[in-house]
Amino acid sequence: MTVQQIIEKFNFSPLSLPCPEREVSGGYTGDLLSWVMGRASQDNAWITIMSNINIVAVASLSDVSVVILAEGVSADSGVLETAEQKGVNIVSSELPAFEIAVRIADSV
């Protein structure tokens, strides 16, 4: 399933979407950046409530296909501009991380 399809299916809000056609192969949930770096796999959807600028570097380096900000968390415009430039997809959802993870798990 692509990032675009997941956005449409679950009504996520796209905040930065430079690569909508990227495949989502699974997911990882976590807010500690080094844990994410160490454990998330390439093409995962990364579900987090962390929204500072460092998520862009972590998402880019660990090569996840999309960052899903849970619980209605948003990111400031500087973060989103950087994400656009670096080719990092970021979406937002009002759902808690657990609920998002369940939906992603059922879809991929």
Residue 2: φ, ψ to 5°? -90, 165
The residue from 20, 31, 71, 99 that contacts other proteins (CB under 8 A) is: 31
CB of 91 to other proteins, least distance (A): 19
- Dist. CA 23–CA 99, nearest whole Å: 20
**Part in contact with other proteins (CB under 8 A); list of ranges 2-10, 11-19, 47-55, 89-97:** 47-55
- The strand ranges marked E within 3-95 are 13-16, 26-29, 44-48, 66-69, 90-92
The residue from 62, 89, 92, 93 that contacts other proteins (CB under 8 A) is: 62
Binding of other proteins by 74 (CB under 8 A): no
